[in-house]
Amino acid sequence: MSDIAIKPRTKVKTKTLRPRLHKVILVNDDYTPREFVVMVLKAEFRMNQEQAYRVMMTAHKRGVCVVAVYAQDIAETKATRATEAGRSKGYPLLFTTEPEE
């Protein structure tokens, strides 16, 4: 038997994987009043009147609008809270989330 010790030449590479950000998406519907959508956007996403109005009108015209991007858990919590705000008034207002490319 050989007594030659072979040193493995391995290098440890540390790679930090940043978690993917998630988009919160506002979905249009025919029933939720515009002012209510604006109010929810201001309350949950800390937007001012002009920003909230622009996002609401974009969803109204195009069907959907990206509201903001956050870490996954924050995006999901905000989307759920905002959707529940509409649900509590009987509106079908919907916020969804999806991972950013």
Query: Which helix (H) or strand (E) is 96 found in, with range?
Result: strand 94-99
Compare residues 30 and 101 and give the one whose CB is closer to ligand TYC. Answer: 30
Among positions 60, 69, 74, 77, the unique one binding ligand TYC when judged by CB under 6 A:
60
Among positions 34, 46, 81, 89, the unique one binding ligand TYC when judged by CB under 6 A:
34
In the complex, the smallest distance separating the C-beta of residue 17 from ligand TYC, rounded to whole angstroms, is 33
Closest C-alpha among 67, 57, 53, 82 to residue 22: 67
Note whether 83 binds ligand TYC by CB under 6 A. Answer: no
Output phi, psi for 18, to 5 deg: -80, 130
Residues that bind ligand TYC (CB under 6 A): 26-30, 32-34, 37, 56, 59-60, 93
